[in-house]
Amino acid sequence: MRKDSTTSRSQSTPQRGAPGGNQCLLPRVIALVAVGAIFGPLGLPAQKSKPREFEVKATYLYNFARFVEWPTTAAAAKNDSFPICVLGQDPFGPALDTIVAGETIGGKAVLAKRVLKPQGAVSCRVLYISSSEETRLREVLAGLDKAAVLTVSDIPQFSQRGGMIQFVQESNKIRFEVNLASAEDAGLTLSSELLKVAVLVRKNSQPGD
Amino acid sequence: MFRDYSISKKLTWMNMLVSGAALLLACGAFIAYDVISIRDGMVYNLSMQAQIVGFNSTSALLFNDPHSAENTLSGLKAWPNIVSAGINTLDGRAFATYQRGQSSQTPAMPPILAGQVETYRFNRSEVVLVRRIVFQDKPTGIVYIQSDLEGLKVRVAQYLGVAAAVLVSSLLAVVLISPVFRRAIGEPIVHLAGIARIVSRDKDYSVRAKPIGNRDELSVLVDDFNGMLSQIQERDTALQQAHDELEQRVEERTKELATTNKELEAFSYSVSHDLRAPLRSIDGFSQALLEDYSDKLDSAGRDHLERVRRAAQRMSVLIDDMLNLSRVTRSVMRREKLDLSAVAKSIAADLQEAEPGRRVEFVIESDLMAVGDSQLLRAAMENLLRNSWKYTSAHPCARIEFGKSQQNGKHPFFVRDDGAGFDPRYSDRLFGAFQRLHTATEFPGTGVGLATVQRIIHRHGGEIWAEGAVEKGATFYFTL
């Protein structure tokens, strides 16, 4: 999504300068072109390769939040900030912090938080459950106790196991499944726009698994 | 040329031109207004569609699902005028596209300036609208929609058709209605012009223009025209009457005058004629007395008798002159062309022959022609030249001229001498019969000559006047 913005920038600079082809301006134009050619690629952090998987996922975490409505009674609603939390071993590195930096949702500043225990995640808006927690997933979900927290994870069959949004890989693309019933149980409202782009939307809660 | 068209034709043309121009302007304005509002409407519709497409494609953009965006875009099939549409990512990469046909290309998109949400550009055959997709105050992508202008073109074509139909039918209506104008304005004016022509050509003031029933200016014009004709006719009749009356009166007077004049002339002729018989007796018996009884008369007696005879002869000359004068007035004029110079030369020759002892130089301009009665003009010339001859007799040598001069735009003939002349104070008495400025002892004469000349000149419709001074000669001018 953000790729190659630097390339287009370095091309557009000389194009903008050229039509002013006045004799006395010409040296300055050349200088500008040179400066653009040198600093253009350096002006922004270079991201030549495709965004790495977890950068995309970090962006998705933020974007999921924008399509969800939390109940006003939610514990998280009392916060002044809008925490997006990571439980377990953090796969994002600094990417999540970078992406949410300066963003707001519903007037509240988005910030990334790391939590150690599910109990500590009750006041989060979004909780990413790291694959490291796969073995004790049941505990984690139980610990949240249907708190109004949007749970997201890479853990296989997460959406079948009571999680709300599960990342899936589909032909080199990151997509997701939604368990609408889990979200509704937690009092969350997911926008139809979000459901529209989901690979799969599970509507019935599937107890026992 | 339009200027030479009849009033009716002009009215028809004017109506056609005015209504045609008004309709063209009105149609043009309507079409322009409608094109603008249709364009605005198109832009509004495209904007709405772009907003809907953009809103519905937000999640697709955010979660990188072009398929979903294409689904959304394919909804645009419902609008057949949309040629192509698409969604681009913020960095300008094509994310999803929609094409109505097969061969459509991505259109050239106008750039959205900073601070703008939307922009559009019309070209000859299409309009492209570009709009930012903004989700929760954050720019997310760009949507564009390209539409053809078929709807606009069809609408304009319809309008042009309607405008042409209205134009043609209204011009037809004008042509159909024009007889009404012709009857109301053209025909009365044409009729009035015809009457005016009859009046001015035939001087017939009895004709009248057909009155119009209504109260407009034309009707007033016709009524006033008729009124004027009536006035002219009345005045004409009155004038004719006065003229006839006057003519009759003049005729009567002339008849009276002629009778009186004839009586008077007959009287004076008979008097003159009858006076000669006793005169001859007086002269004859005086002569007999002188011859038969001269021995019985002393010298004083003989002298008295001589005086009686001279007086009688002088009276006889006077009577002859009077008869001549009346003849001048009575004789019938025969106008012909004659050479006054030749007349003057022959008279001058006669004069010189009669008195060869005198040294008089005649200067006579040649080839002066005049039209008049040859006998009368010859008499006038003879009188004038003889007059000059007589009044130069006191001078040892003299000069007499005849010629043509120029005075106050007139070209009078003149007879000039350098003789005794006259006192200009009495110049008005020069031409009176029996009026003389000199005594008979100075210059013999009866005072009838110049009076005769004046009558001859007046009978020819001319004028005569004289200039002169004592001992400086005299000049007589006359026109014919």
Residue A12 has pLDDT above 50, yes or no: no
- Top residue of B63, B67, B90, B140 to mutate, by most chain A CBs within 10 Å, is B63
Q: How far is B62 from chain A (nearest CA, A)?
A: 7
Please, are residues B186 and B15 in contact by the beta-carbon 8 Å criterion?
no
pLDDT band at residue B134 using 50, 70 and 90 as cut-offs:
very high
Q: Does residue B178 form part of some domain?
A: no
- Judged by CB atoms closer than 8 Å, whether chains meet at A2 and B91 is answered as yes
Q: Nearest CB to A60: which of B58, B63, B68?
A: B63
Q: What is the pLDDT of residue A40?
A: 37
Residue A15 has pLDDT above 90, yes or no: no
Q: Does residue B271 form part of some domain?
A: yes
* A67-76, A158-167, B110-119, B197-206, range with greatest mean pLDDT: A158-167
* Chain A environment of B59 (Cβ under 8 Å): 67, 191, 193-194, 196-197
Cα torsion through B384, B389, B391, B396, rounded to 10? 160
Last residue of a domain, one of B330, B356, B378: B330
Residues B92 and B221 in one domain: no
- Top residue of B59, B87, B88 to mutate, by most chain A CBs within 10 Å, is B59
B363 lies in which domain range? 332-478
Query: Does any CB of chain B come closer than 8 Å to the CB of residue A67?
Result: yes
Residue B52 has pLDDT above 90, yes or no: yes
Q: What is the pLDDT of residue B104?
A: 61
pLDDT above 70 covers a percentage of chain A that reads 73
Q: What is the pLDDT of residue B103?
A: 62
Query: Does any CB of chain B come closer than 8 Å to the CB of residue A194?
Result: yes
- What average pLDDT does range A157-184 have in this prediction? 92
- Top residue of B67, B70, B91 to mutate, by most chain A CBs within 10 Å, is B91
In what order do the strands lie in the sheet containing B126-135?
B94-99, B82-89, B138-148, B126-135, B118-122
Q: What total of structural domains would you count in chain B?
A: 3
Mean pLDDT of chain B: 87
The larger pLDDT score, comparing residue B211 to residue A42, is at B211
Query: Does any CB of chain B come closer than 8 Å to the CB of residue A7?
Result: no
pLDDT band at residue B245 using 50, 70 and 90 as cut-offs:
very high
- Fill in the DSSP letter of residue B138: E
CA distances from A98 to A59, A107, A108 (A): 10, 19, 17
Residues B125 and B228 in one domain: no
Last residue of a domain, one of B296, B330, B364: B330
Question: What is the Cα B15 distance to its own chain's centre?
Answer: 33
How many CB pairs (< 8 A) connect A and B?
39
- To which residue do tokens 């200067």 refer? B363
Distance between CA B273 and CA B319 in Å, rounded?
8
What token pair was written down for B9?
Answer: 């034709």
Q: What is the pLDDT of residue B322?
A: 78
Residue B15 has pLDDT above 50, yes or no: yes
Which H helix or E strand runs over B348? helix B340-354
What does residue B231 show for φ and ψ, rounded to 5 degrees? -60, -45
Residues B138 and B148 in one domain: yes
**Packing angle between helix B66-74 and helix B7-56, nearest 10 degrees?**
150
- What average pLDDT does range B310-315 have in this prediction? 88
Task: Please tell me the least confidently modeled range out of A17-21, A125-129, B100-104, B361-365.
Answer: A17-21
Q: Does residue B385 form part of some domain?
A: yes
Residues B212 and B162 in one domain: no
Q: Does residue B193 form part of some domain?
A: no
Q: How far is A183 from chain B (nearest CA, A)?
A: 18
Cα angle A27, A29, A35 (rounded to 5 degrees) comes to: 105
- Judged by CB atoms closer than 8 Å, whether chains meet at A176 and B63 is answered as yes
Q: What is the pLDDT of residue B402?
A: 94
Residues B326 and B366 in one domain: no
Q: What is the pLDDT of residue B297?
A: 86
Model confidence pLDDT, tens digit, residues B386-438:
989 988 988 888 999 999 998 888 889 999 999 888 888 888 788 887 777 77
Residues B381 and B453 in one domain: yes
Q: What is the pLDDT of residue B1?
A: 65
DSSP characters over B254-311: HHHHHHHHHHHHHHHHHHHHHHHHHHHHHHHHHHHHHHHSGGGS-HHHHHHHHHHHHH
- Judged by CB atoms closer than 8 Å, whether chains meet at B63 and A197 is answered as yes
Cβ contacts of residue A85 below 8 Å, gap of 6+?
A: A112, A113, A114, A115, A121, A124, A126, A127, A128
Q: What is the pLDDT of residue A51?
A: 62
Q: Nearest CB to A196: which of B68, B91, B136?
A: B68
Residue A9 has pLDDT above 60, yes or no: no
pLDDT above 70 covers a percentage of chain B that reads 99
Residue A11 has pLDDT above 80, yes or no: no
Q: How far is B147 from chain A (nearest CA, A)?
A: 27
pLDDT band at residue A10 using 50, 70 and 90 as cut-offs:
very low
- Judged by CB atoms closer than 8 Å, whether chains meet at A191 and B59 is answered as yes
Q: Does residue B196 form part of some domain?
A: no
What is this structure's pTM? 0.53
- What average pLDDT does range B370-375 have in this prediction? 88
Residues B354 and B474 in one domain: yes
Q: What is the pLDDT of residue B47?
A: 95
Residues B158 and B233 in one domain: no
Please, are residues A161 and A181 in contact by the beta-carbon 8 Å criterion?
no
What token pair was written down for B269?
Answer: 């002729």
- Top residue of A8, A173, A196, A200 to mutate, by most chain B CBs within 10 Å, is A196
What token pair was written down for A30?
Answer: 């050349």
Residues B72 and B132 in one domain: yes
CATH of the domain at B102: 3.30.450.20
Residues B367 and B387 in one domain: yes
Distance between CA B71 and CA B48 in Å, rounded?
18
Count of C-beta atoms within a 10 Å radius of residue B242: 10
Residues B34 and B95 in one domain: yes
**Closest among B448, B473, B149, B438 to B327, alpha carbons compared:** B448
Distance between CA B190 and CA B397 in Å, rounded?
82
Model confidence pLDDT, tens digit, residues A44-61:
343 434 568 899 999 999
Please, are residues A152 and A168 in contact by the beta-carbon 8 Å criterion?
no
- Judged by CB atoms closer than 8 Å, whether chains meet at A60 and B68 is answered as no
Q: Does residue B192 form part of some domain?
A: no
Q: Are strands A165-170 and A150-153 parallel, antiparallel or unpaired?
A: parallel
Q: Does residue B179 form part of some domain?
A: no
Q: Are strands A189-190 and B82-89 parallel, antiparallel or unpaired?
A: unpaired
Task: Please tell me the least confidently modeled range out of B28-32, B319-323, B394-398, B404-408.
Answer: B319-323
* Chain B environment of A4 (Cβ under 8 Å): 91
Q: What is the pLDDT of residue A31?
A: 44
Q: Does residue B89 form part of some domain?
A: yes
Q: Nearest CB to A66: which of B60, B68, B136?
A: B136
Last residue of a domain, one of B291, B312, B330: B330
CA distances from B40 to A120, A175, B46, B115, B152 (A): 56, 41, 10, 21, 11
Please, are residues A195 and B83 in contact by the beta-carbon 8 Å criterion?
no
Residues B53 and B110 in one domain: yes
What token pair was written down for B251?
Answer: 């005729």
pLDDT band at residue A34 using 50, 70 and 90 as cut-offs:
very low
The larger pLDDT score, comparing residue B108 to residue B82, is at B82
CATH of the domain at B407: 3.30.565.10
pLDDT band at residue B14 using 50, 70 and 90 as cut-offs:
confident
* Chain A environment of B53 (Cβ under 8 Å): none
Which residue type does B323 have?
L
